[in-house]
Structures are given as C-alpha cells and as structure tokens.
Amino acid sequence: MRWKEWAGWSEREEWAALIGWMKWAAWIGDGKGGAWSGWTGWRGWTAFPGSTAAVCLLLFLLLFASFHYGGSLVWDRVMRKRRLAVRRMRERKEADWNLRHARMYGKLYAHAADMLAAVGWRMAPDSFFSGCLILGGIGCFGGMGVFRSFPSACLLALMLASIPYIALRMKLVSLQTATRLEFLPAVELFYHCYLITGCRHVRTALQKTVDERRLPGEVQAVFAQLCRNLSVSEDHDESMRRFSLAFGHVWADYFASILKVALSEGNNVSENLKELIGDMRKAQLANQQERHRLLEIRLANFTPVLFLAMFLGINFRLNPEASYRSYMIDPAGRSMLLNALALLFGSLLMGLYLSRRKL
C-alpha cells in the first residue's frame, strides 16, 4: 500500500495541507501568532520563542514531506519491479506453453489449415477441431446410453469424431479428381500470359491468367486463390503448399517449385514451364488412366453401404416385427449393426488412403 493511500489523502490535499502548515509557521515566526506565540500555559511553547518554534515546525514539515515522498517513490519502484517480474514470469510461462503446444499440435494444425484453405471452406482450424470433439462427446454419451458398453461407446465416439475429417478429405479428393485433367490447359494459359507480360513478373502473369476467365470453375478458383494469397501474404511456401494440395499430383508440385524459384530469385522460368508442358503432354494418357482408377476406387467405397442398406431393407420388408426386435431391441443385434458400421467406416478410410496413394 502506498503512503498517501494509507493516509487517505490525495496529492492536491497533501500540497494544500503542507502550504497551510508553512504559512501558519511563518505567521508564528513573525510574532503574529497572537495567543499561540504568547501562550505560556503549554510547556512546549514556553521554552522556545516564536521564531525558533517556526523554524522547528518548518524543519519537521520538510523532513515529513521528504520522508513521505521518498517513501512513496521507493514503494512505487518496488511495486513496479514486482509487477514487471510477475508479467515477465507470466509471459515466459505462456511462451513455454505455446512452444510445447506448437511442437505437439503445430503440424496437425497446419495440416488442417492447409486442407481447409485448399477446398475453400471458410472455417478456422480451431472450429474444425471443436466440431470433432463435440461429435466425439455425442458419440461417447450416445454409445453409453444405447449400447451400454464402454468399447462400443469408444468406437462410436471415434467414428463420429472422424466424420468432419473424412468429409474434408472426400471433398479434397473430389476437387483433385475434377481438376486433374484441367491442369495442363491451365499451365498452358499461364505460360502464354507469362510470355506476354515479358517473363518478369509472376504475379502479373497469374493475375492476367485469372482475369482471362478461360479456365474451368474448380481450376479458376484454385488459381484465383493462389493469386490472392501471393498478393496478401509474404509466405510463398504456405501459398504454394496449399496450391499443390488442391491439385494433389506431382505436376502441381513441379509447377509450384518453378513459381517459387521465380518469386524468390526473379529468374526467367519460361524454359522450365515449356519443359513441364511437354512432359505433361506426354503423360496425359497416364493421367486419364489414373483418373479412371480413382473413380473405380470411389465406386468401390460406396458399394458395401448399398449392400447393407439393401440387406436391412429386405429384412424389414419381409418381417418388420422380428427385424425390429433383432436389430433394435436385442443388444446383440445392436452390436452387430455397430460392427457393420465400423467395417464400412474402415473400408471408407482404406478407399481414401488408396485415393491419396494414386494421386
């Protein structure tokens, strides 16, 4: 507690009181104290004349003021150092926690942010992970209420928590499949715009490519996002990584590497683009075959779901009461349905993994 806070006075009141005491002391020293200067009933004043008492009072007031304000300054300095120490300790703890958090969740956070930006979802990674946790909690409580088994509740929670990521991955695979055959015309258009602009400014060539509006919808959106990111952000690596992820094949990685060199070093990359276009034309037939394989994989993913729905529909159509007792009321029937859903979930994950390998 500061001295003036302990006394309960403000600075203005302190100065007013000090000036008043000094005036009173001077009044006594001049012999104008009246009853105070000539009063002998009080022993303190009989021993000293008026001027001596005034000097002593002035000295006392000066000493009191010096000790008062000196103590206030020292106390303020001590409290300031203590607040700074507490703030530095808090900042150091927050920095250590952020460093551990970044080491633990940095890659996962960056991966989710890249995927969300690649598919064009306007959602923060924090909201995405929060949705996963909410669905996982719903699955856990729902599994305990319906199946009354801890392993079943954990299995249902795991499946529900993975639904947002699976939907995001499926959206990304659909985007990569749709843009696979349209990447070569997009690179050719960019190459022509790059030659027209004088082979100097990659951002200008990208902007001209986007302004031409001769690309398909998905490819146009990806190139527009790349142009926007390069204009706003100075992190070229992040922009190129998201661009490559949106297309999802090796030709996009080569194209992103060429653009990165042109942006960082300012070199003329027209020959590199020409070689890339030639190699892509030679491998165009292989790209078509890979696209057909991806479509086959996606069809194979949804085939077990159709068979399960057909099986349950036939059973409920022929004998609704027995089917309801067997699949809904009987705990063994509910566990069988949960295991079937888990197998379908696993087959879907396997299909996504194979699609990623093919791409």
Could you give the CA distance from residue 61 to residue 29 in angstroms, rounded to a whole number? 15
Cβ atoms of 76 and 2 closer than 8 Å: yes
| Amino acid making up residue 71 | G
pLDDT in tens, 219-231: 888 888 888 888 7
| Closest residue by Cα to residue 224 from 234, 258, 214, 194 | 214
pLDDT category at 5 given cuts 50, 70, 90 is very low
Biggest CA–CA distance in the chain, Å, is 124
Residues 6+ apart with CB under 8 A from 184: 251, 277, 280, 281, 284
- Within 10 angstroms of residue 336's Cβ, the number of other Cβ atoms is 13
Q: What is the mean pLDDT of the chain?
A: 76
- Checking if the pLDDT of 357 tops 70, the result is no
If you ran DSSP here, which 8-state letter would residue 327 be given? I
Residues composing the chain: 359
Could you give the CA distance from residue 70 to residue 296 in angstroms, rounded to a whole number? 85
206-214: list long-range contacts, CB under 8 Å, 24+ apart.
Answer: 206/230, 214/189
Query: For the chain, which residues make up each domain, given as ranges?
Result: 1-30+47-109, 125-177+288-358, 180-281
Cβ atoms of 270 and 194 closer than 8 Å: yes
- Within 10 angstroms of residue 143's Cβ, the number of other Cβ atoms is 23
pLDDT in tens, 284-301: 777 677 767 777 777 777
- Checking if the pLDDT of 42 tops 50, the result is no
Percent of the chain surpassing pLDDT 90: 0
| Amino acid making up residue 349 | L
According to the model, what pLDDT value does residue 245 have? 87
pLDDT in tens, 61-84: 777 777 777 777 778 788 888 877
Residues 6+ apart with CB under 8 A from 67: none
- Checking if the pLDDT of 133 tops 50, the result is yes
SS3 call for 319? coil
Q: What is the pTM of this model?
A: 0.62
